[in-house]
Amino acid sequence: MKVTKFQLRHFITKGEIFHLARVKILSRDDISLHNHDYAEIFWIEHGGGTHLINGKKVPLNAGDLVMIRAEDQHTFASSRQGITMMNLAFPLKTVQYFRKRYFTGVDDFFWKKGSLPYQTNLDVNMLRNVSHQAEKIWKHQSSSIHLDSFLLLLFRLLLPNENQADNQGVPAWLNNAVQQFPVQPDLFRLGARGFASICGRNMDHVNRTVRKCYNKTLSALVAELRMQFAARQLAITNAPIKSICHDCGFNNLGHFYKQFQGMYKQTPSQYRDQHQRLS
């Protein structure tokens, strides 16, 4: 099958730095098999289908986010309902800059080795947030600052949490719960019981294991994970602080402020101002 080389200059106008679009694919013939002279990130907002990538077929569903390397050859086949995605294309020199500055020695994201590119699945809230942040930079396609600020927010969202303890020696069920609890905010109101429900163990056993592995109580770990969720929402959304407080399982805004300041040494408003300064 013939492979077409897509070039960024065909998608941008004079003065533009990147190309951002929302695309709906209804047929395999909508986009030809191609590679690029640019880096690409796409995420599926609605629908699903198949990613035909480097001779392999990979299922695509709502929430899937993929980072395409220049040499990757790909196209799409949609399900009956089609695939609605957002697509960001930008220069390879930006990828090179980010690796040199932030990801030296990292073999993930755009630098993942092997036949398949980096792929992850965003939960509903993350998906909504990423699309919202992308829409905010839509009218700034001539701005490197807006491109870089969006990419930084995205990478921070996808990176393993730097505040979590080293997971060496942590049981798989506990490590899984630490990863899953912050993306299931409906469990926040249940607190420690909600966390234990993911573990599939009784509360006492979970508490003892948390103490042994993280040197903190289960309640302290849950509070920390709640605040990490709050910080992420403050950084990448414009949701009212009162709503974030509620989503974190707090009925008292003053208590939420106290918990947040205890962990981040600044108020939620100050944290948001600092982390959205370039957005």
Cβ pair 188, 249 in contact under 8 A: yes
Per the structure block, which two tokens stand in for 239?
């949701």
The domain tally of the chain equals 2
* Residue 188, in any domain of the structure: yes
Please indicate, yes or no, whether residues 260 and 135 belong to a single structural domain of this protein: no
CATH number at residue 255: 1.10.10.60
In which domain, by residue range, is 53 found?
4-158
* Residue 165, in any domain of the structure: no
Q: pTM, whole model, 2 decimals?
A: 0.60
Reading the chain (279 residues) residue by residue, the pLDDT tens digits are: 688 999 999 999 999 999 999 999 887 666 788 999 999 999 999 998 899 999 999 999 999 999 999 999 999 988 788 899 999 999 999 999 999 999 988 888 999 988 999 999 887 778 888 998 999 999 999 999 999 999 998 998 887 654 444 455 788 888 888 888 887 778 898 999 999 988 888 899 999 999 999 899 999 999 999 998 898 888 878 889 999 999 999 999 999 999 999 998 999 999 888 877 644
Cβ pair 36, 5 in contact under 8 A: yes
Partners of 34 in beta bridges: 4, 74
Please indicate, yes or no, whether residues 22 and 149 belong to a single structural domain of this protein: yes
CATH number at residue 116: 2.60.120.280
Per the structure block, which two tokens stand in for 84?
């609605």
Which of 136, 158, 180 is the last residue in one of the domains? 158
